[in-house]
Amino acid sequence: MNIITFDSDDKLNEAAANIIIGQIQTTPRAVIGLATGGTPVGIYKQIVNDYQRGMISFRDVTTFNLDEYVNLPINHPESYRSYMNSNLFDHIDLPASQCHIPDGNAADPAEECRKYDEAIELSGQVDLQLLGLGHNGHIGFNEPAHALIKGTHVVDLAQETLEANARFFDSIDDVPKQAITMGVGTILKAKKILLVVKGADKADIIKRALHGTITTDCPASLLQTHPNLIVLLDSAAAGKLA
């Protein structure tokens, strides 16, 4: 595990973007796992800036997003498809056929999960997986539980997750109650994992995730078992680490 702390958001975003871009420069046909939420926005902005400067091409890259809400229209401004389009996909040369996001409106969600796992397997091992961290220790939408599902699956979102995501909607009642998420087993299969965490409100959970007991009650704690984990923190998130 390699933990790096930054004293500014700009430096953290630049470092994360450089890791992702470096992976693609080294492996032009890289398979990249992508995340959504507030944390990656500045990272994607930096990637777009570097693309516009001619530093990188995504023509041969394949991407897989971690998750998508269930029963939220694809063109809804808070769908993760809309998020990815506005923050990244619309601004780079990644072919639409090579960017994958679970279909939260699939008629058969279980079959959609099976097909998503199959697509990941057919693309080969994920070279680099970008992750954020939920306040309750979730990664993707893998919520704390007695046992975790290894493959892509439909999950009931925890109340804490609904409350955290309510800021993106008019009210908490508008937040979808379910999502399709890549499973922890699939996440851990990635060759390299890049965990990015920001804010003092994440200080307790990042300490628990990185230095606490490995338990499904804190899904992110399973990242301790990964052989190539890079953790980028701002100084506030790192505030309770020894």
Q: Does the active-site annotation cover 78?
A: no
Q: Does the active-site annotation cover 143?
A: yes
Question: What is the C-alpha radius of gyration for the chain, rounded to an integer number of angstroms?
Answer: 17
In the set 65, 67, 117, 234, the catalytic residue is 67
In the set 13, 65, 103, 138, the catalytic residue is 138
Q: Does the active-site annotation cover 228?
A: no
Beta bridge partners of 151: none
29, 67, 92, 230 from 141: Cα distances, Å: 27, 7, 26, 20
For residue 44 the two structure tokens come to 């994607």
In the set 103, 112, 117, 143, the catalytic residue is 143
Residue 132, classified by CB atoms within 10 Å of its CB into exposed (0-12), middle (13-18) or buried (19+), is buried
Q: Does the active-site annotation cover 111?
A: no
Residue with tokens 């998020």: 83
Residue 63 to residue 51: CA distance in whole angstroms: 16
In the set 18, 85, 105, 136, the catalytic residue is 136
Residues acting as catalytic residues? 67, 136, 138, 143
